[in-house]
A and B are shown apart, each in its own frame.
Chain A
Amino acid sequence: MAIESVAPLPWLVLLPLAWATLSFLLGPSRGAGIAIVGLLLQAGLVLLLAWQLTTMGTQHHAVGGWGAPLGIDLVADGLSVVMLLMTAAVALPVAIYARAWFVAKPAGAAWFWPLSGFLVAALNGLFLSADLFNIYVTLELLGLAAVGLTAATGERRAVAAAMRYLLATLLGSGAYLMGVALVYGTYGSVSLAVLGGLVESLPVVMLAAGLMVAGMLLKTALFPLHFWLPPAHGGAATPVSALLSALVIKASFYLALRLWFGVFEPLAAVSAAQVLGALGAAAVFWGSVQALLQARLKMLVAYSTVAQVGYLFLVFPLATGTPAEAAAGAWQGGVLQAVAHALAKAAMFAAAGAMILGAGSDRIDRLGGVGARLPLALFAFGLAGIVLMGLPPTGGFATKWLLLMAALETGQWWWAAVLVGGGLLAAAYVFRVLLAAFAPVPEQGRVTGVARSLEWTAFALATAGVLLGLFAAHVVTLLDVGA
């Protein structure tokens, strides 16, 4: 069989489901190995898909041979593939990390592997789905897997956070489902391709679009709807935190982006886009200031996510109703930010986990000595921080450059101020951690060593976040396929 005719699309959904089931049956210790093999295969499939995309354009697959409107269509365009690449690039190192992590802290290991398999399957499915209802199914599966993972350790704090998270995610997907119902009632179709030519600004469609976008804002934790995120991301087991912050919130952002600049484009109003941007700006400042005030390391990292989510939403005012060239740049910048943040935040949580494990406490003022004992973890934390600050030559810088360009080209200098100010605030909270970790310790040997793979995976993720900046042009080329 020629390699061109291999269709990776369905396998990207089936493969994680398979290893999820297997790891549930075989238990956590063998499950970990199976998951890692599965994720390696997945990475290969996604690379194959990316290659097919660049040579042959957008890829379609009709599940079971039934096309739309009866069957399920899977479609991979540039945006989907970039998201799939991001998922594979984060999930594989996190799985290697998790394997070592659950040796040190076994609580929740039995649940981690099956649930993360479902989570990855849901993510891949969501990025490949071509109709609104199928997207709803994957969205719901994603939310439930994420909530389950949050609660997996069984700690009281984690369970309480998971309940809040459950509320938010059900509310979000509920709003989305209502929107889908309204759209279906109006046009009699849920296929993105079909709807693309039909949507016009009727009140009922406006309501549907509003509900769907609002649902996504809640799930992406855009300020002021971020209340559920810090306790969930800060309280879960560290590998879970990494998956949640890096990937799960990106799924709902992806969907908002897809809808806003896709089917609902005829409805997209400049004023609404400005509101989204303003919320994003508020998120950048609120999240950063809160991060500065946290006493616990993982909470600091979680609030940093609240801040970084804010940048994602600057895409809307920069790419809605603006000249095509500026809009394209902003859009690319937004997607790159999603990827750069995914890599950097996974790295940061992983590094933070290793540091907390070594220091025996998650209080920032107890991190003294980590710099001397776990230099690689701290280095990874610093590198990830540089990505988040948007300093060159990292992926965060490529993002910031594109968004700043778009802001100044369209004369919206206030968003430029947010981008620059947010970077400086990020520097403040990142260096706060580095300073604490460099502090000398009175008691010798208080900080213990950790498994090497915990430090190395964090470092690999952070390095990927840095290298993304140097090869951003490749990602942008990929993004343009089918856009």
Chain B
Amino acid sequence: MILDSLLPPLVVLSSFLPGLVIFFLDESRVRLRTTLNLVGAVTKLLLIAYMLWGVFHQQDFVFRHTVLPGFDLVLNADALAMLFVTLSAVLWFFTTLYAIGYLEGAPHRSRFFGFFSLCVTATVGVAMAGNLFTFFIFYELLTLATYPLVVHRGTPEALRAGQRYLAYTLGGGAILLVGIIWLYTLAGSVDFVHGGSLAALGSAHAAELRWIFLLLIAGVGVKAALVPLHGWLPQAMVAPAPVSALLHAVAVVKAGAFGIVRVVYEVYGVTFAQVLGVLTPLSWVASATILWGSLRALAQDDLKRRLAYSTVSQVSYIVLGVTLFGPVGTVGGVVHLVHQGIMKITLFFCAGNYAETLGIHRVSQMDGVGRRMPWTTAAFTLAAFGMIGLPPLAGFVSKWYLGLGALEAGMDWVIGVLMLSSLLNAAYFLPIVYRAWFKPQAGEWPHEHILARGRRETGWLLLLPPVFTAAAALAVGLFAAMPFSPLDWVQLIAEREYAP
């Protein structure tokens, strides 16, 4: 059906067009801007709901447009794409609400929301890209759309962080481009397919294919913040809280991790990647990143910095899962794409609430904040427990499957990495939770912007999003076995990926 093939571009346009209009809106048109944002977000969700149903029933949604002879822009809403698209669209909706509350009265909001919409446009494009050519287009668009958000405040610190961000991501993009083109000269332009398409090239090109793998992974690894390519991420946390939330949970780092998933499963094919012997080195890098990120997080007093290093560590669980050969490992890695997103966005929302409401930026200022902001702190606590991997929260499900997958793949040492990292997670999250709930308040709050009114600890738009996402982090863990849970969907993906 023609209409079906138009749905993927419509999902892309549902945030692009509002974004475009918003750019040209006058600062003072608050109501129109908010309406546009929400109409875009809701339209996207409705389109996605329809497509989810279709994909579940083996329906294809493929859009194709020839950009250059032999090179098509392909948007393909397969099961894996839908996982990421749904995550982005749902979290974008909450982040938009949050951002409207967060930026109330701040300058340059049209610019902000314009780029914000572009950022989500690029993310869903990355998700639905049907080949490396298309993936690259949206991957670079994402870089460009996020830069103005990172430097939004215009402070010298923000500008420096922006420069660093650009240097890393544009450099990574250049490496990725060379990798893609090199691959195309060997294999021609091929679409992503389950099981990959390079096995046919066989061992004749093994050496070249290993180099290309290195280039591709290095290219996307910059955004996925693989050590040692992670230097930009902790700096980029100078961005406003909604941006950090989106950057760490959905947009940028996930685009990188998602790229690794695509390259391993649908370009090389996990079996062929195993034959080439490229998965084991990647699992070392992922493990090193997990441990290094956690260790660095321990040393940070700045709350957002600590969360940023925690992202470095947590995103590599996804990569680690990808390298564990076997369906169970795949499930653990890919489901964490969703789980980490929900938990991390909650944490950043909460960090933003502390900063906006009370001026709290450091862990050491958080004594007794639980009494002043119980809802926010409860959400924070849930998400933090999830990150540590306590059952029945989302993070537990991920780690459970990762562990099982490691045993299945015969990589027992990974269990050690997981345990050590959980201990470290506990070591940097539990003290925060302890301070917030059990320590008495030490003097005045640094800067109380928003006064408590009755039971309302801060603005509604700031409070509701983290409460919802924290509840979601609990729900996806608790109801992991239900149909249409992220876990259930990922098992569907793994089935299709490993189908003979």
Contacts and interface: CB of A to CB of B under 8 A. Distances in A.
Interface in B163-190: 163, 166, 170-171, 173-174, 177-178, 181-182, 184-185
Interface in A452-483: 469-473, 476-477
B144 A386 contact: yes
A420 B24 CA distance: 33
Given A401-B181, A427-B170, A435-B159, A392 B69 contact: no
B140 interface: yes
B145 to A, nearest CB: 11
Contact of A476 (B68, B140, B154): B68
B185 A409 contact: yes
Contacts of A471: 67
Nearest to A469: B67
Contacts of B66: 473
Contact of B67 (A375, A398, A440): A398
Contacts of A473: 66-69
Given A408-B181, A424-B170, A393 B141 contact: yes
A404 B136 CA distance: 14
B71 A401 contact: yes
Interface string A389-408: 00111000110111011001
Given A438-B154, A440-B154, A405 B181 contact: yes
Contact of B177 (A372, A379, A420): A420
Given A391-B140, A392-B141, A405-B184, A472 B170 contact: no
Contacts of B171: 424
B174 A392 contact: no
Contacts of B24: 376
B151 interface: yes
A392 B181 contact: no
A398 B66 CA distance: 12
A441 to B, nearest CB: 11
A420 B23 contact: no
Contacts of B170: 424, 427
Contacts of B143: 391
B199 interface: no
B137 interface: yes
Contact of B68 (A391, A398, A409, A427): A398
B111 interface: yes
Contacts of A427: 166, 170
B137 A392 contact: yes
How many residues of B sit at the interface, in one of the four size bands? 20 to 34
Contact of A408 (B65, B141, B144, B182): B182
Contacts of A402: 68
A375 B24 CA distance: 9
A325 to B, nearest CB: 10
B154 A408 contact: no
A474 to B, nearest CB: 9
A190 to B, nearest CB: 35
Contacts of B185: 405, 408-409
Nearest to A325: B70
B67 A470 contact: yes
Contact of A416 (B65, B163, B173, B178): B178
Interface in A80-97: none
Nearest to A376: B24
A423 interface: yes
A423 B174 contact: yes
Contacts of A397: 137
Interface string B248-280: 000000000000000000000000000000000
Nearest to B184: A405
Interface in A417-435: 420, 423-424, 427, 431, 435
A420 B174 CA distance: 6
A109 B173 CA distance: 45
B68 A472 contact: yes
A175 B356 CA distance: 70
A404 B181 contact: yes
Contacts of B177: 400, 404, 420
A438 B160 CA distance: 13
A393 B137 contact: yes
A439 B141 CA distance: 24
Nearest to B66: A473
B378 to A, nearest CB: 39
Nearest to B156: A439
A372 B108 CA distance: 8
A30 to B, nearest CB: 32
B69 to A, nearest CB: 6
Interface in A325-383: 372, 375-376, 379
Most buried by B among A400, A401, A469: A401
A431 B68 contact: no
B465 to A, nearest CB: 29
A364 to B, nearest CB: 15
A382 B218 CA distance: 27
Given A393-B67, A402-B68, A470-B65, 18 more contacts: A376-B24, A391-B144, A393-B73, A393-B141, A397-B137, A404-B177, A408-B178, A409-B185, A416-B181, A420-B177, A420-B178, A427-B166, A431-B166, A439-B154, A470-B73, A471-B67, A472-B68, A473-B69
Interface of A: 372, 375-376, 379, 386, 391-393, 397-398, 400-402, 404-405, 408-409, 416, 420, 423-424, 427, 431, 435, 438-440, 469-473, 476-477
3 closest A-B pairs by beta carbon, nearest first, are A392-B137, A473-B66, A420-B174
Interface of B: 23-24, 65-69, 71, 73, 108, 111, 136-138, 140-141, 143-144, 151, 154, 159, 163, 166, 170-171, 173-174, 177-178, 181-182, 184-185
16 contacts: A392-B141, A393-B137, A393-B141, A398-B68, A402-B68, A405-B184, A408-B185, A420-B174, A420-B178, A423-B174, A424-B171, A424-B174, A438-B154, A473-B68, A473-B69, A476-B69
